[in-house]
A and B are shown apart, each in its own frame.
Chain A
Amino acid sequence: MLARRALWLPSAALLAAGLVAPLLRVLAEGAGGFDLALLLDPYLGWRVAWSLIQATVTCALALVFGLPLAWALARFDFPLRAFVLRALMLPFVMPTLVAAIGVLALFGPHGVTGLNLQDTPWLLLYGNLFYNLPLVVRAGVDGFAAVPASQLAAARTLGASRLRAFWRVEWPLVRPWLASALCLVFVYCFAGFGLALLLGGQRYATVEVEIYTLVAYELNFADAGLLALLNLVVSFAVALAYAWRERTLAVALKVERLAPQKPRTLAERLALAAALSTLLFTSFAPLAAVAASGLSAGWDVWRGLWSEEGRLAAFNTLRFTALATLCAGLFGVAHALAARRSLVWRAAANLPFIVSPVCVAFGLLLLYPAYAASLPLLLAAYVLLAYPFVAKSLAAALDAEPPELARAARTLGASPWRAFRRVRWPLLRPALSRGLAFAAATAVGEFAVTLFLSRPEWLTLTTWIYQLLGRPGSANLAAAQALATVLMALSLVAFWLIERQTDHARTR
């Protein structure tokens, strides 16, 4: 049983050395040069203010659009409904660079709409909604689905109109789901890096981008430290609120759910059409734009990708992804098994999700300057960002495992190992594959940490896209768009793998 006790060691070491220690180092850096006057500086002050503003506005927009959208998806039945509900997960596996290029392809300087929104706040807000509207809608649909049909029926028979029933029965039940989703949206937007770097421009970039600029171009660690400190304080405060909310989400499993109904009146049809169009516009249009620009790029552009640079980037992306996924699998399995006994440990798996990759990378640079350009450090950062997907997916599957099944196998003559091999493993495998696919998608699309820690010879597909975007000329833009199409295709493969495993789990 010593082996079982030691299961928490690998991920504990990784979290301590790769996350907690670097963050503490960042905090020390920020507190050491602590000078509030810096915030009074109009330039930095505006960065902080805008980071808060764009996160708040995104939350407000996501709620205003997301609530009716979630209601429509939860209550109306329409062709391809199951497909749309699953496709809501798609943005989660899309690299930020793909989304950013999609947004630029629509509303950038050479966008297909002809509407150039560069150097306005709208590009970033649009990009934020691409990721976060589906998150809120997803939470809302889950929340509405958890409303027992009998409670709604009771409200209606007690004299409540449809609207009053929504207000007095559905809304109070859905509110905690939305609140917890909005906490996440706020953290993601506030600590967002990739989108803000590409879409924010000079004026509408966020604190994260500023940290990167200060560190990478000005070597001004003191100011960067202060900003990172601010960032962490805000992120952790919101993450705590999230954790507190999350506790109150009780999922009653045996609730008789309200079956979605076909829209009957014209008003209902219009409402549904409006909901689906909004979703198409925010979360699928950018992807379609990427695909369109990539496919129309022409043969020369595609052949140009197969340069020495391109082969290096592809090789590195594959190499890092393969290694990171493998390690994420090992750490994730160990963490999930250790988390069976401890709630704290279970919560620890969320830690890499809430801290910003930029802060972690900055901390790693500060803490291990000697290894700043070493492959193990870069890989450790990849694994740190990827392994929680495996840990969480597997931990959920372990929770859902009915204990009688293994017992039944034992009474039918199976030894503990045989019971694992023939009953538990086949039932856990889909969850593991799902987690691994998520981890791989994370590694493929990783951008922030790679930009911080990478050396020129470690060019990956994402950092190469970023370099291409920085070079002048339409040829470079076309190459970046073609590359983004490749990345998107890789992410779609990951998404397909994830959904296939979900299917397996669902048919049971």
Chain B
Amino acid sequence: MLELVDVRKRYGGRVVAEAVSLALAPGELVALLGPSGCGKSTLLNMVAGLVAPDAGEIRFAGARVDALPPERRGFALMFQDFALFPHLDVLDNVAFGLVERRVPRAAARERARRELAAVGLAGFETRRVAALSGGEKQRVALARALATDPRLLLLDEPFSSLDAHLRASLQVATRQRLAEAGIPALLVTHDRDEALAMADRVAVLDAGRVAQLSPAAELMAKPANERVARFLGLANVTGLGYWPQAALRLGSGGDARVLAATPRAGGLTLELALPEGRFVLELSAREAAALAEPPTVGARVPVTLDAAAFCRFGAGA
């Protein structure tokens, strides 16, 4: 469907995109993952037609769309702060794009009402947008974007202004709604977990290039290089590759000293001194409870390193 070919963009000396190429399959959700300020949003704005690329092609369904103004591309963009129109009520916000497509007002409102019901906001039609909570705004923005039957949905960090609990539930709901509608989508985020939860495939952006593009399930297992591995938050990364957690064998003899122990939600993270060096071991709550000696600092834990399990960067990626 969407195809980016060698897209480039610079602002003065700052490189935003350096030969970015990417293709979306029909109905697929691809996440663009990268640190804040790496140019992800600019890339999205170029797809939307709000910013012109310096070079490269943007195609949709085989046809070039670079020259089209944003209103003729048929892509809907959901903004980070939702950009709801403060002078219109909820219903008129959702119906905005339909009115632009010359749908008669009554039909536009009827359709907008159905979209609102689909995101669970039936009865919110006459509310002012300023009176909505963050989660409600997000859902209104989604309904507004989907009401126009866009060919492609662009999502610019649509959950970053919400608190963690709300974020998780809205991610699931948004993904479901997109699957129902069967619309391909491009999601920009700096949150690894969000990318994993939402996307079919994840593209990691680094210095204006796609450093890695892989299915969400493989992203963590096969990082492309050291920078990507560190950005994804993997432990035990070296210049050549990384040691997956499975390489640290628990209960197979060995005698590693605990240097630091940090509790986390699902268990405990230990920093261990092994003969091969320092390693980070993530224990589940169950594993931690099964240890003979409580893993406090200075305690001994039976862990050995399986040298064969080392993952080299670039192998099979």
Q: Is the CB of B128 within 8 A of A408?
A: no
Which A residues are CB-close (under 8 A) to B70? 407, 410-411
Size of interface on B: residues with Cβ below 8 Å to A: 29
- CB < 8 Å: which of B48, B50, B71, B83 contacts A402? B83
Contact pattern, B 87-114, Cβ under 8 Å of A = 1, otherwise 0: 1000000001101110000000000000
Provide the residues of chain B in CB contact with A219, threshold 8 Å. none
The answer to whether B100 and A413 touch across the interface, beta carbons within 8 angstroms, is yes
A284–B133 Cα distance when bound, in Å, is 41
Supposing A404-B79, A409-B96, A508-B130 touch, asked if A414 and B85 sit within 8 A by C-beta, the answer is no
B75 touches A (CB below 8 Å) = yes
Chain B contact residues, majority secondary structure: mixed
CB of A423 within 8 Å of the partner chain: yes
B57 contacts the other chain (Cβ, under 8 Å)? Answer: no
- From A405, A408, A422, A507, give the contact of B77 (CB < 8 A): A408
Partner of B50, one of A407, A415, A423, A427: A407
Is A423 within 8 A of B81, CB to CB?
no
Nearest-neighbour CB distance to chain A for B129, whole angstroms, equals 9
Contact A412 B50, CB 8 Å, known A404-B79, A422-B96: no
Q: Which of B71, B87, B128, B130 contacts A414 (CB 8 A)?
A: B71
Q: Does A269 contact B (CB under 8 A)?
A: no
Answer whether residue A426 sits at the interface, using C-beta atoms and an 8 A cutoff: yes
* B-side contacts of A422, CB under 8 Å: 96, 99
Select one of A402, A412, A415, A427 contacting B96, CB under 8 A. Answer: A412
Segment 29-75 of B: residues with Cβ below 8 Å from A: 45, 48-50, 69-71, 73-75
B75 contacts across to A, CB distance below 8 A? 411
Instruction: Report the separation of the CA atoms of residues A180 and B96 in the bound assembly, to the nearest whole angstrom.
Output: 44
In this complex, which of A402, A407, A416, A508 has the most chain B Cβ atoms within 10 angstroms of its Cβ? Answer: A407
> On chain A, which size bracket covers the interface?
20 to 34
Taken together as a complex, chains A and B put the C-alpha atoms of A426 and B86 apart, in Å, by 10
Q: Residue on B with the closest CB to A508?
A: B86
Q: Give bound CA distance, A422 to B86, whole Å.
A: 12
Question: Complex: how many Å from CA A413 to CA B73?
Answer: 8
Q: How far is the CA of A25 from the CA of B145 in the complex (A)?
A: 61
CB distance from B37 to the nearest CB of A (A): 18
Q: Which one, B48, B81, B86, B87, contacts A411 given CB within 8 A?
A: B48
* Chain A residue, CB-CB nearest to B96: A412
Contact (A411, B96) CB under 8 Å given A404-B79, A404-B81: no
Cα of A418 to Cα of B130 in the assembled complex, Å: 23
Q: How far is the CA of A415 from the CA of B72 in the complex (A)?
A: 9
Closest A residue, CB atoms, query B154? A411
Residue B138 interfacial (CB < 8 Å): no
| B69 in contact with A410 (CB, 8 Å) | yes
Which of B49, B71, B83 meets A415, CB within 8 Å? B71
Pairs across A and B, CB under 8 Å, 25 listed: A407-B50, A408-B83, A409-B96, A410-B69, A410-B70, A410-B71, A411-B70, A411-B73, A411-B77, A411-B154, A412-B96, A413-B71, A413-B97, A413-B101, A414-B96, A414-B97, A415-B69, A415-B71, A416-B69, A423-B85, A426-B87, A427-B86, A507-B128, A507-B130, A508-B128
Partner-A contacts on B (CB < 8 A): 45, 48-50, 69-71, 73-77, 79, 81, 83, 85-87, 96-97, 99-101, 128, 130, 144-145, 148, 154
On A, residues with C-beta under 8 Å from B are: 402, 404-405, 407-416, 418, 422-423, 426-427, 507-508
**10 closest pairs, A vs B, by CB?**
A412-B97, A413-B100, A404-B83, A408-B83, A508-B86, A410-B70, A411-B77, A426-B87, A413-B71, A404-B79
